[in-house]
Structure 1
Amino acid sequence: MKNTWYILLLLILWACGNESGDQLSQNEGGSAVDSAQWVIDKAISAHGGDKVDNSHIEFDFRDRHYISDRQGGAFTYERIWQDTTGDQYRDVLTNDRLYREINGERVELSAKDSSAYANSTNSVLYFALLPYYLNDPAVRKTYLGQGDIKGQTYHKVKVTFRQADGGKDFEDEFVYWIHQDDFTMDYFAYNYIVDGGGARFREAYNVRTIDGIRFADYVNYRPEPEIREVATFDRMFNEGKMKELSRIESEDISVQLR
């Protein structure tokens, strides 16, 4: 009888210890890195990432028209707009280079300008299609456990970048909140270094699925007080310590799958 109660106690303790970790028992190995990879894979799948691989997506954002054209590993990103004088600009970013056209004519760019235009074009498409890019080679993932936001439980995954292939912003730090059941990316935060630095928290809204790909707009918040510990932003948000700064809205989205 004594042994029976001891075994029962061990089973109860094991169950309690795994209450929050059962969701991750399906991954391979169970380390922090493996858990993060498992969560991100599930999130990319839930957002239709397999369809993004071979797709043509267009949308408008802040008076500019963006195009993402992907065929496997090859991509072409475009940003098109017209200035106040009526001149039309077109930035085209591929796997190999960026070039700019003004009124249909290519123009020479300095290395500095080429890098800046490539970064700004890529940045808008990167955020619009998250979490699709979180399996890029430069991404480093760490599982931070679980957190609650508005009564819902989320997996928390920290993302940093290797300097090689990590781009201009390789020092930035992100945390993603992935819903424990639906694996939707409903919130994320980032600590950025360039342009004076800062930290932001984004909340998804106006979620819609177009041809199997999930898109969302975001409320963009600043922490008050302004701190950089982005892993704590779920608690701060719940405590009302976030100030809305702007809305991140993509309009007139169209998708063509190949």
Structure 2
Amino acid sequence: MKKSILTLCVLAAVTISCNSKKENQDEIVKKETTETAKPLTKADSIINTAIKAHGGDLYAKADYSFTFRDKKYRFKNDGNNYEYSSEVQKGDSLIKDVMINSDFTRYINSQKQNLTAEDAGKYGESLNSVIYFATLPHKLQDASVHKKYVEETTIKGKKYDVIEVTFGQDGGGKDFDDQYHYWINKETHLMDYFAYNYQVNEGGVRFRAAFNTRVVDGVTFQDYINYEAPVKTPLKNLPALYEQAKLKEASKILTENVVHN
């Protein structure tokens, strides 16, 4: 009898323990499901639509090369992995920079160079920046990107949604404290304009207007006229200044000779 009672007690304890574990697992699954099912913000939804309009899923396996200011660039994406490179001939030296998942290497005439951490960071940031801007808005759903819907506005008779973007310090690069505005065309969902302020070198404000928009095997590429405005000019004021021709042209950003490899 005592053995039977002991057996029943053990079985009851095991049952209670199993039920408790199941309830805990159910709570975890419920929590994960709730977090996964969290609705997109308006800003996220607009940016997702813009990314789709510019190439969408094609970016995941994109392999393109282009020329920017006499340098040849290439980006190869493989899901979350990527390889960026650039090369330029300077006299008798062929300089090639390669970044594979944030790991930067420089070669001169095929010889790997020993770089200081500071130089590797500087050259890597430059390479990443060129490809980042050339493939906008592809990277605007990265974890470090913080988005906020600002307003609807009109530029040259067309309606736009305005999205503000800032960056978290973790994964946002050395210029994580810069601020951006993107103007997404409500009809085409393309990014026709963007602007940013930066803090380095005493700061500055830039406004870029897209032109020569073209599609290369499903992915959109654009050139930009790059305007400058007085330091501390609010980004939301830039479209009005642009329409009034009160912005000074600083340069043209030309992504040339685009090839799908």
TM-score w.r.t. length of structure 1? 0.84
Cα offset, 1:226, TM superposition: 4.2
Q: Does 2:258 correspond to 1:253?
A: yes
Corresponding residue of 1:183: 189
Query: How many matched pairs?
Result: 224
Unaligned stretches of 5+ residues in structure 2 = 1-37
Corresponding residue of 1:72: 79
CA distance in 2, matches of 1:115, 1:226: 26
CA distance in 1, matches of 2:225, 2:200: 22
Q: Does 2:57 correspond to 1:50?
A: yes
Contact 2:203–2:231 (8 Å) recurs in 1: no
Q: Does 2:167 correspond to 1:161?
A: yes
CA distance in 1, matches of 2:106, 2:77: 20
CA distance in 1, matches of 2:56, 2:120: 29
Contact 1:147–1:234 (8 Å) recurs in 2: no
Corresponding residue of 1:97: 103
Q: 1:235 to 1:143 in 2, by over 3 A?
A: same
CA distance in 1, matches of 2:102, 2:132: 17
Q: Aligned match of 1:138 in 144, 153, 171?
A: 144
Moved more, 142-151 or 237-246: 237-246
Can you list the C-alpha shifts for 1:4-25, whole angstroms capped at 9, x where unaligned? xxxxxxxxxxxxxxxxxxxxxx
Q: Aligned match of 1:217 in 212, 223, 226?
A: 223
- After the TM superposition, which parts of structure 1 deviate over 6 Å for at least 4 consecutive aligned residues? none
CA distance in 1, matches of 2:141, 2:237: 24
Q: 1:96 to 1:242 in 2, by over 3 A?
A: closer
Q: Does 2:62 correspond to 1:63?
A: no
Corresponding residue of 1:37: 44
Q: Aligned match of 1:122 in 103, 110, 128?
A: 128
Unaligned stretches of 5+ residues in structure 1 = 1-27
CA distance in 2, matches of 1:162, 1:231: 21
Cα offset, 1:241, TM superposition: 1.6
Cα offset, 1:96, TM superposition: 4.3
Between 1 and 2, higher relative CO (CA 8 Å, sep ≥ 6) is seen in: 1
Q: Aligned match of 2:114 in 104, 108, 111?
A: 108
* Corresponding letter in the other structure for 2:192: D
Can you list the C-alpha shifts for 1:169-217, whole angstroms capped at 9, x where unaligned? 1011000000011100000000011222100000000110000100000
Can you list the C-alpha shifts for 1:112-150, whole angstroms capped at 9, x where unaligned? 000001100000000000000000110000000111111
CA distance in 2, matches of 1:198, 1:93: 28
Q: Decide which structure has greater helix share.
A: 2
CA distance in 2, matches of 1:96, 1:178: 29
Percent identical pairs in the alignment equals: 40
CA distance in 2, matches of 1:78, 1:226: 33
* Corresponding letter in the other structure for 1:252: N
TM-score w.r.t. length of structure 2? 0.83
